[in-house]
A = this chain, B = another copy of it.
Amino acid sequence: MVKAGIIGSTGYAGSELVRLLMGHKDVEIVWYGSRSYIDKKYAEVYRNMFEIVDAVCMDDNMEELADQVDVIFTATPQGLCASLVNEEVLSKVKIIDLSADFRLKDVKVYEEWYKLEHKAPQYLDEAVYGLCEVNREAVKKARIVANPGCYTTCSILTTRPLVAEGLIDPNTLIIDAKSGTSGAGRGAKLPNLFCEVNENMKAYGVATHRHTPEIEEQLSYACHQPVTINFTPHLVPMNRGILVTAYASLKPGTTAEEVRAVYKKYYDHEKFVRVLDEGECPETKWVEGSNYVDVNFKIDPRTNRIIMMGALDNLVKGAAGQAVQNMNLLFGFDEDEGLRQVPMFP
């Protein structure tokens, strides 16, 4: 039985991790970290866990935790994981970091977009970007897994095959993304109040959202050239779900069959990426509660652009589910262990 500790277990991503790990046959959570709720029963913070989780919230003590567990998940604000990790910790446990601390290889890019000094840049090189469909083998051997962002996972899985195969010009890529509100976290802020979000839609972080360089970096690896894109996130009045609509110029003469063949080549053997039937547009509800990403595309012959679409649950494949998938790779479990939830509809 693998022992797991969660630092930041009372945010939405942390609580989703608890939900998923409860159904994982080979893992036991032994540390529910939460600086805000120390000594409070976890089930009093999340009443859905009543009679399911009996534990009490603990402080964020990574060193002590490292002695007690095999894997630490950090579902915390940016900067915390980098400030806690050190060689002694890494000699004892695996770290799966759901924050952005180890996602970008270039510390300058990190510090520019996150406006934070990075406290452990020495681990940037060894940290593995935990997008399992891309870095499966590297994840298995990692000490630190940088769990990708929610927008990023959806954007990359939706567009990467065409970028990698040269079917689209990556520098024409425009990603218009729409997210449910749980992505904004559980902080008590006015813009996240029900009455401010409900019956409302808006863009935010236009041209400045922090997931932009993460998408660009990963796509540049795929095509071996620098990539600069437009990325615009939007807030949608729903709890869960990310929908990505991505636009790019298609290599002249490319047919729908060729595009489909490329998607199939990359994803036919991937359980969690579903290439939908021709003509079907992904819907966030079709993946809710599950680790699936649904992708599809449409070519517009009038403009010779391709519209690529992807949908996932931001708390599962966009956060906690992907973290569990990474953990499964790290410990040699079936990759879908604990992740066999059928999407819940309606």
Contact = CB atoms under 8 A, between A and B. Distances in A.
A154 interface: no
Interface string A302-322: 110101010100000000000
A200 interface: yes
A346 interface: yes
Interface stretch (A74-82, A140-148, A275-283): A275-283
Copies in the complex: 4
A19 B285 CA distance: 14
Interface string A209-238: 000000000000000000011101010111
A286 interface: yes
A46 B281 CA distance: 13
Contacts of A290: 48
B241 A200 contact: yes
Interface string A108-144: 0000000000000000000000000000000000000
A88 interface: no
A240 B23 CA distance: 22
A281 B234 CA distance: 10
A342 B19 contact: yes
B207 A12 contact: no
Contacts of A309: 203, 206
Given A181-B194, A186-B190, 7 more contacts: A47-B283, A178-B201, A186-B193, A198-B198, A200-B238, A230-B247, A230-B300
